[in-house]
Structure 1
Amino acid sequence: MSSLAPAISVTIDENSTFGALNDTASVSAIREGLTLEEINDAIAKTHIGGAVFVGILMLIGFVGNLHVLLIYSFRTKPSNHRIFILCLGVLDMVTCSIGMPFILVDLRYPLMFYATAVCKILRFVNYFMCASSALILLVIAADRYRMICIPLGKQMSQTVAKVSCGIAISIGFAISWPAPILYGYSAEHTGVGNITGVRCWTEERFKKTKYQAYFNFILMFIVFGTFAVLCVLYSMIGAKIFKHKTFKSTVTDSKSVPLSTTGSSKDSSGTKESPMQSTEDAEEELAMDTSKAFNSVEKSSSYKLKFKSNDLPWRSPGKIFKIGGKYKEYYIDKTSGQKEKKKMSKEDTRTRRITFIMFMITLVFFCSFMPHLSLKIVVFMKKDFLETVSPAGLYLYNTFVWSFFVNNMANPIIYGFCDKIFVRELRSFYGRLPCFSR
């Protein structure tokens, strides 16, 4: 997941002068008679922290995403979340192997980037990777929403998941196409004599136009719009899970009162009663979700009702629901009840675990932008910030301004903590190696 930070940075910094004077605390060392190489090296020294930071993220991300691609490609069963993880893994791997090395070169040669064609391609790659990743996160959220909030509705098939990812990548391409046109050869006056450097930035012909501003406005609109939609979807998912846990706990603690299918029952004294009145509202709402499942109920030889495991992925058997104004109890027969209940509970846990993994991926994706955006806002609000900040402050700025690359190496770590299958296959793989099997 490459970053849209370059786009945001353009909007904020486009009117500022790079020229070694606005970007480094080594200005005092720049004197008449210095060469372009010496000026370039003076500026590059202030980027050492950023280069080390990006380099570490690149190595960890490359190794981690390589493991993700190998394990999820060959050691896991086909599923929607496998498709999503592989798509994000490919995008992260491209960023770690192409996008980040480009940033390292740019940090080393801030005023001597002469490869215009490479600049155009790599700027496009960074925008394309990020836009595609953000849109795939939307597809993931939609899939999780249907699984959790509409469990009895039509779910996203693997074919639909693949097509949706393909559409997201295509839209990412359509969004990013202006990048190789707008970026390229950019002459930057150093402020030292007549020495002029070359940056991989907005091309000369577009510097006095508003095309770059329009491009970045669209990108930021997409970023914040995506963020808003994801917040809404995951809020609804979280509320549904919390409600399910609360209801399940209430039902477990309540006494189970057998009811006939006519809607009422009698206790040992022969008195008619309406059970679980305290949870009537919750049951009535849940009954709406389960009513569709009752159409697929099969009667056993003893006229007891038997559920298929896929009919009620969120419902435990033997519970009481209010249908059409009457209370009814539906349960699995004695021979298969425990197996079905255990299978449903296992599927329920797996669904929530996958949802949690996808939520963490989304959360890290956006949180990784926060330090970058905060620093850029400070620079935007205080124009002379980079000129007045201390040398230590400038080093910190040039380091954490690249925080958005954290999301490109974080996913394998998330899988390592949250995905039992990934951990199991990882241990199995390394357990077969001679150096680890001793």
Structure 2
Amino acid sequence: MNSSLLQHDLDLYLRHYNNKHAIHSLPVILFLAILVLVGFAGNSLVCYVYLVKFKESSLRCYILALATFDLATCVVCIPVEIADIRYNYTFGQYTLCKMLRLLATFSVIASVTILLAIAVDRYKRICCPFDKQTTPLMAKVTITVCSLTTFIVSLPAAAVNGSRSVSTDDIRINGSGCTVTDDYNNTPYPLIYNGGQLILFMSCILSLSVLYGLIWRRVARQQKRMNNVTESDLTIERKVQHKATPTSIAKSLEDAHSPSAKGEPNMSLDKVESNNSESTCIMPTLESFKNDNTCPLEATPPLGSQINRRLSTFGRRKSFSTCTSSHCDKGSQKTTRMLFLITLVFVLSFLPHLGLMVTRAVNKNVFENLHGVGFVAYNVFLRSYFINSVSNPILYSFCSVRFRQKLTQLWESVAMTRNT
């Protein structure tokens, strides 16, 4: 009887500390709750749109993997983290504590490995376009291998973290917090664990920086080359407008069909085509000759139809080969820019957490006596990596026109269904 009363009093005492800590941490809880709502809605839409509306590709597989990890974080990890904050003095005694640290570590490392795989895929497509590219099957295999490897690497998080004594005003009573366990508190293992995370993180960041640096260098060179080609096209266009008038082209063809020029048939127009084989999209200039009302090419029907046929074939060939290529390059650059921003946000969101963890591993008591704004800021920055799980859908919405279009179509279909 006395034992049960003591246990009841102990529970009441620790509950009082839980409530007190929850009131002080209310801004942190609200911040995480907002992340849960926004992240759940955003990542659910990403999973639906890319799974149903987009064709299968390696990039689609990678984005779905990222969205799945982020959705799991918003559905499981962040709510459990809120429970940890709410019951700060008793949460460490539950097995859920170890699961939380394991899942949170798994989510972060899995995300960075997928981002690294995406960077490799972008590098191969832009810098090595003639090599064998990543297929959807290869992307799925990569995701599976990354997930299994990440799970193995994350296992130390479950071993190092667990129940740790939290002091109260009564020296005889201690709470149970969810952090580095008492068994490892005075050992070098937490420092080794956090140091290993730092090395892994910095290695991934260095690899990502090198890959995207090479990608942007290649993109800059392509852009410079396109600018040079454009300047060359303008020069050729001016020359064509000045010299290669429809009358001169018709005269060249007449000369080519004359008996005196049997040895060099159609040389003049062929020479024009040969000289312009290096140019890009000069179709508008040549088309203007064909559609010019002041100088019709149909003066002599057989000759005019021959010119029209030559001009149309030449224009279609040049416009299709160069303009389409330019359009694809721009689309690839936009996709690469979006993926680079996703990687950058991940790095920036993870840095505050990693910095605090390393600092705490070096000096265990540096954050023990924080109050007010400092206490709130510390707890927000300690969980800053959760921002990454919410930001990706927002970046897709801003950077991907196709994603916005699919969302608009989805919204319109839902609105029509509700109206009917």
* Residue deviations 1:296-341 (CA, integer Å, cap 9, x gap): xxxxxx99999xxxxxxxxx97359xxxxxxxxxxx9544332233
Paired AA for residue 138 in structure 2: V
Report SS of the residue matched to 2:129: coil
Equivalent residue number for residue 136 of structure 1: 114
* Residue deviations 1:359-398 (CA, integer Å, cap 9, x gap): 1110110111244455567778888764665523323333
Matched, 1:318 2:299: no
Separation of aligned partners in 1, 2:136 and 2:415: 38
Equivalent residue number for residue 285 of structure 1: none
- Out of 176, 183, 187, the residue aligned to residue 161 of structure 2 is 183
Q: Share of identical aligned residues, percent?
A: 30
Paired AA for residue 106 in structure 2: F
Of 234-243 and 377-386, deviating more is 377-386
Equivalent residue number for residue 408 of structure 2: 427
Paired AA for residue 403 in structure 2: F
Task: Using CA pairs under 8 Å that are at least 6 residues apart, name the structure with larger relative contact order, 1 or 2.
Answer: 1
Matched, 1:172 2:132: no
Equivalent residue number for residue 182 of structure 2: 204
* Residue deviations 1:11-48 (CA, integer Å, cap 9, x gap): xxxxxxxxxxxxxxxxxxxxxxx922222322232221
Equivalent residue number for residue 355 of structure 1: 336
Of 158-167 and 334-343, deviating more is 334-343
Equivalent residue number for residue 21 of structure 2: 43
Query: Does structure 2 conserve the Cα–Cα contact (< 8 Å) formed by 1:369 and 1:403?
Result: yes
**Alpha-carbon distance, 1:345 to partner:** 2.1
Equivalent residue number for residue 97 of structure 2: 119
Separation of aligned partners in 1, 2:170 and 2:400: 56
Equivalent residue number for residue 210 of structure 2: 232
Of 87-96 and 242-251, deviating more is 242-251
Query: Does structure 2 conserve the Cα–Cα contact (< 8 Å) formed by 1:71 and 1:425?
Result: yes
Higher helix fraction (1 or 2):
2
Report SS of the residue matched to 2:175: strand
Separation of aligned partners in 2, 1:124 and 1:176: 6
- Out of 376, 383, 398, the residue aligned to residue 395 of structure 1 is 376
* Residue deviations 1:160-212 (CA, integer Å, cap 9, x gap): 22211221112111101122223223233325231110112233333333333
Separation of aligned partners in 1, 2:234 and 2:38: 53
- Out of 35, 40, 46, the residue aligned to residue 68 of structure 1 is 46
Paired AA for residue 333 in structure 2: R
Matched, 1:219 2:197: yes
Equivalent residue number for residue 224 of structure 2: 246
Report SS of the residue matched to 1:201: strand
**Unmatched segments (≥5 aa) in structure 1:** 1-33, 259-267, 269-301, 307-315, 321-331
Normalised TM-score (structure 1): 0.71
Instruction: Give the direction of change, closer, same or farther, for the CA distance of 1:335–1:390 in structure 2 (3 Å limit).
Output: closer
Report SS of the residue matched to 2:91: coil
Report SS of the residue matched to 1:423: helix
Larger of the two Rg values belongs to structure: 2
Instruction: Give the direction of change, closer, same or farther, for the CA distance of 1:402–1:182 in structure 2 (3 Å limit).
Output: closer
Query: Does structure 2 conserve the Cα–Cα contact (< 8 Å) formed by 1:49 and 1:398?
Result: no
Paired AA for residue 350 in structure 2: F
Separation of aligned partners in 1, 2:190 and 2:367: 23
Matched, 1:342 2:318: no
Separation of aligned partners in 2, 1:317 and 1:382: 69
Matched, 1:364 2:342: no
Separation of aligned partners in 1, 2:362 and 2:160: 25
Separation of aligned partners in 2, 1:136 and 1:189: 41
